[in-house]
Amino acid sequence: MTGRRADGYHLLQTAFRFIDLQDTLHIATRDDGRITRINDIPGVPEDDDLVIRAARSLQAATGCTLGAEIELVKNIPMGGGLGGGSSDAASVLLALNRLWDCGLTREQLMELALPLGADVPVFVFGRNAFAEGVGEQLSPLSLPPRWYVIVQPDASVPTPEIFRAPELTRDSAPVRIADFSGSSTSSSLKNDLEPVAFARFPEVARIAGVVNEVLANGMQSNVLSPGRKVRMSGSGACLFVECDTPEQASWAVEQIAGRMRQRSNAEGSNAESAAVEESMTDLP
């Protein structure tokens, strides 16, 4: 975080990395101009859904008289800091721009995307990016392929609370795009939101501790490359581990899932306290 605007939004420098974890959207046009979501998503009323708001904003901006019927099949954890809802909204803008034949450029769609959320433009941009401003000033970022283990702690972290926290570091030294080129998680880089989320949501910190123990074992036995450390995605609660090979990622998934099972058995509960998932980067 390098500053704060008068409207409360933060100036930041961050890397957005695309991975192959995805939701599915089915979209059909309607002649009557109505925009509807046909499936129920617990916790996300239709009118609040970013996909509906994205469609309405494109309709309003272009004066299009067509509508849309949208089915959104969620697979990306919701409220996990992985950008699932934002990528769904961006996909709706891109898809309806074609289906409605609006003819907006990618840049125009990125402008429409920003009021929907600071991280919606990058999903219209559509490739790994170095972001500045509030997240909308984007430069292409070339990153080598990597494999990610995503761990979802059983905690819901509200993004506004983390950004509003008085203890949040808002004057980090600026970084350059080159600092991200080898790895999006190099040890010289940090996520200023992480210590705030860890302090306020101890379950997230606890799971991060368990994952770091697994990584330490893996590095000691040379299964993992040196310098592995769990990181938080965005404002959390999801955590991730960056791996160099699919074998390393599979090893980490197995070990972390094993530790979670041990923990839940020890606590006399059948519920796992975190879900573990493996994902590959989607190049570029």
Instruction: Count interface residues toward ligand C5P (CB under 6 A).
Output: 12
Q: Which residue type occupies 211? A: V
Please report how close the Cβ of residue 114 comes to ligand C5P at its closest, in angstroms.
Answer: 8
User: What is the rounded distance in angstroms from the CA atom of residue 30 to the CA atom of residue 175?
Assistant: 47
In the range 11-30, which residues lie near ligand C5P by CB under 6 A? 12
Phi/psi zone of residue 240: left (φ > 0), alpha (ψ -120 to 50 degrees), beta? beta
Please report how close the Cβ of residue 134 comes to ligand C5P at its closest, in angstroms.
Answer: 4
- Pick the piece of the chain touching ligand C5P (CB under 6 A) from 112-120, 121-129, 250-258, 271-279: 112-120
Please report how close the Cβ of residue 260 comes to ligand C5P at its closest, in angstroms.
Answer: 29
Q: Which of 51, 64, 118, 138 binds ligand C5P (CB under 6 A)?
A: 118
Count other C-beta atoms under 10 Å from residue 15's C-beta.
20
Please report how close the Cβ of residue 118 comes to ligand C5P at its closest, in angstroms.
Answer: 4
User: What is the rounded distance in angstroms from the CA atom of residue 23 to the CA atom of residue 166?
Assistant: 34
Q: Which of 44, 82, 92, 134 binds ligand C5P (CB under 6 A)?
A: 134
Instruction: Give strand ranges (E) for 116-178.
Output: 129-132, 137-140, 147-153
Report the residue number, 118 or 211, with the smaller CB distance to ligand C5P: 118
Q: Which of 10, 37, 146, 228 binds ligand C5P (CB under 6 A)?
A: 10
Determine if 8 is a binding residue for ligand C5P (CB under 6 A).
yes
User: What is the rounded distance in angstroms from the CA atom of residue 172 to the CA atom of residue 165?
Assistant: 15
Please report how close the Cβ of residue 279 comes to ligand C5P at its closest, in angstroms.
Answer: 22
Report the residue number, 218 or 236, with the smaller CB distance to ligand C5P: 236
Report the residue number, 8 or 103, with the smaller CB distance to ligand C5P: 8
DSSP state of 9: P
Count other C-beta atoms under 10 Å from residue 43's C-beta.
8
Compute, in degrees rounded to 10, the torsion defined by CA atoms 270, 198, 130, 252.
-40
Determine if 239 is a binding residue for ligand C5P (CB under 6 A).
no
Q: Which of 67, 135, 218, 236 binds ligand C5P (CB under 6 A)?
A: 135
Asked whether the beta carbons of 208 and 198 are under 8 A apart, the reply is yes
Determine if 163 is a binding residue for ligand C5P (CB under 6 A).
yes
Report the residue number, 36 or 172, with the smaller CB distance to ligand C5P: 172
User: What is the rounded distance in angstroms from the CA atom of residue 83 to the CA atom of residue 159?
Assistant: 12
User: What is the rounded distance in angstroms from the CA atom of residue 197 to the CA atom of residue 101?
Assistant: 43
User: What is the rounded distance in angstroms from the CA atom of residue 53 to the CA atom of residue 164?
Assistant: 25
Bridge-based pairing state of the strands 239-243 and 274-280: unpaired
Determine if 160 is a binding residue for ligand C5P (CB under 6 A).
yes
Determine if 259 is a binding residue for ligand C5P (CB under 6 A).
no
Strand, coil or helix: 14:
strand
Determine if 9 is a binding residue for ligand C5P (CB under 6 A).
yes
Task: Enumerate binding residues for ligand C5P (CB under 6 A).
Answer: 8-10, 12, 117-119, 134-135, 159-160, 163
